[in-house]
Amino acid sequence: MHSHRFENELYSLDWSVDGKVIIVGDSQGDIHSVSAHKSKEPLKIIDTANSSNEYEVQKGPDHLSFVQDVKIASDSSYVAWCRQNSYAVEIATIDFKSGKLTKNYSIPLQSDIESSITHIDWSEDGEVLAVNTQNNGLYFIHVTDKREISASKVRDLKWKTWSCKFGWPV
């Protein structure tokens, strides 16, 4: 069995549709991308210290806030995550063969929010993120346009998942 060990406590996890790429967010605000493409064995995630395995890590800015939520788009082209006490969703593209994260950027919510992001979910087409905040807010972000959009523009969208506490389910 193919395994990876992590130095910090894990807070959130998502995997690609084919199960070949797993994205993990930890207690220090880091994002880990683990790829099973080079191995024919199943991938197993182990939350423990002293890792000697290699995997991609996107370091958090301050290592003071854990990764609240992490989600991979249905076509596995993007991964999105939010950190505790953050007002922005961070996006990266996934190199599908290697599982590495590239072209990292942040999309701040333009609305006058007063609390941090708690949940995110992808639309089935991988273009829009639904975002919930601690103060019961529901927002939508068009990922390729890198901007917030109104709820009326997403009313007919189908959703890959629905973990958000507010909004309408899949």
Residue 26 structure tokens: 């930890």
Q: Are 21 and 94 in contact (CB under 8 A)?
A: yes
Please list the rounded mean pLDDT of every run of 10 residues in the chain (170 residues).
69 76 80 66 45 43 68 85 79 69 77 78 92 89 90 90 80
For domain 2-154, give its CATH number from 3.40.50.300, 2.40.128.520, 2.130.10.10, 3.30.565.10.
2.130.10.10
| Amino acid symbol at 89 | V
Using CB atoms within 10 Å of the CB of residue 85, give its burial: 0 to 12 exposed, 13 to 18 middle, 19+ buried: middle
User: Domains of the chain: which residue ranges?
Assistant: 2-154
52-68 burial string, b = 16+ CB within 10 Å, else e?
Answer: eeebbebebeeeebbbb
At 56 the pLDDT is: 45
**Whole-structure pTM over 0.85, yes or no?**
no
CA–CA gap between residue 87 and residue 105 (Å, rounded)? 14
Residues in the chain, total? 170
Q: Are 127 and 137 in contact (CB under 8 A)?
A: no
Find tokens 């991938």 and name the residue.
Answer: 43
At 15 the pLDDT is: 76
At 168 the pLDDT is: 75
Q: How remote is the C-alpha of 126 from its chain's centroid? A: 12
Q: What are phi and psi of 152, to 5 degrees?
A: -65, -25
